Structure 1
């Protein structure tokens, strides 16, 4: 790492001096590469992208486009944290695939993008589940519906659909009497959607309980609302 630190220090002195010369492109490329070798991915990402902006048709433009996205991939955090760098990496790999559709790195880009997309899915799932755990059922319904729409083929689909059904049920249970019928009906509709996709679900016991309670209300209309009216 020490040699790359020295390289960046030297390049910092040389780059302004050769800015308007033929050597500038190589110096910018070497600078970005040096930061990457130092594993300073934040700086490397900035310099690779700066190279592409300055030399869009330069001899290292293709490699720099890929490396900029790879830097963002390397600093993409675990799902619990903010996913700005994850989105930046996806955007970067997508840009690379658009600009260089015949590159031998296309499959590598697809692999990275799939992994990054799953991270966004997990983030979306965790955020929605947090609302459920906090008993903020209305917010949970909205968040889970959006997550299921945006990431329809997620590995968390069964649990997310169960959490939405449970949220709808709890929202109905805790509603004012005048609003319960429509909310229990929404619960019943969601129950049928859930059972259509997951007839042998691991949540079957609780789903059956929700169905029985919901059906009882819709048939008799005499279940009193519980606390925390909404």
Structure 2
């Protein structure tokens, strides 16, 4: 039938754009195929390729991650639409790689805040990171940055705020040691804690 021929031609056209490396255009046509032929023979493959094109367009972690977010959404949409697909394992692998990219971007942003001495931003971003990536293998290192940021914020505070902020340093130190008692960063964490305690003693000495 004419509609069957048109469907096949359009599907092949989407593939032709993909095969020459135009992932933006092929993504558009694979997605459009699913709209034009919702009951077509190639809906599952086209919906997957739509998501995969987004994945291929996901840029380096230092750049804007809109395509990464879109790729995750499209891959999840494919999984929801075709929960029995043989592509599920591949989708999960791709999603893991995309999540890793977003995680690294957030982690490197926190390191940048530390370099800029923007202690409040580093603390807030660290707290958000723990929520977003509770099982991250970067948590140990991040908690050291968080501890240091808490201390730097405290030592640069006015006297009326310093005591409370120094207590937060100790709270963070206790949490770090309880989670990572064998950490290679332990000596650095202990040094920060000792400096915070020494500063707290000075406050008490001067009556704050």
Both proteins in one fold, TM over 0.5:
yes
TM-score of the superposed pair, with normalisation by structure 2: 0.92
Mapped to 2, the partners of 1:88 and 1:136 lie a distance apart of 30
* Residue matched to 2:180: 198
Tell me what 2:74 maps to. Answer: 92
Go from structure 1 to structure 2 and tell me whether the alpha carbon gap of 1:83 and 1:222 turns closer, same or farther (over 3 Å shift): same
Would you tell me which structure has more helix in proportion to its own residues? 2
Give runs of ≥4 in structure 1 deviating > 4 Å.
none
C-alpha deviations, 1:60-92, integer Å up to 9, x for none?
110011101111111212211111111111111
User: Contact 1:45 / 1:69 at 8 angstroms: preserved in 2?
Assistant: yes
Query: Taking structure 1 as reference, are residues 32 and 127 closer, same or farther at Cα in structure 2, changes over 3 Å only?
Result: same
Q: Which residue of 2 aligns with 1:57?
A: 39
Query: Post-superposition shift, 1:22?
Result: 4.6
Count of aligned residue pairs for this structure pair: 205
Deviates more, 1:211-220 or 1:133-142: 211-220
Q: Does 1:216 align with 2:198?
A: yes
| Residues 75-130 of structure 1: CA deviation (Å, up to 9, x unaligned) | 21221111111111111111111111111111111111111111110011111211
The answer to whether the Cα contact below 8 Å between 1:217 and 1:223 also exists between their aligned partners in 2 is no
1:65-76 maps to which residues of 2 (within 5 A)? 65-76=47-58
How far is the alpha carbon of 1:23 from its aligned partner?
3.4
Displacement of 1:58 = 1.8
Return the offset for 1:137. 0.5
Equivalent in 65, 82, 88 of residue 83 of structure 1? 65
TM-score (norm 1): 0.84
Query: 2:58 aligned with 1:39, yes or no?
Result: no
1:135-180 deviation per Cα after TM superposition (whole angstroms, max 9, x unaligned): 1000111111111210111121111111111111100011111110
Contact 1:29 1:60 in 2 (8 A): yes
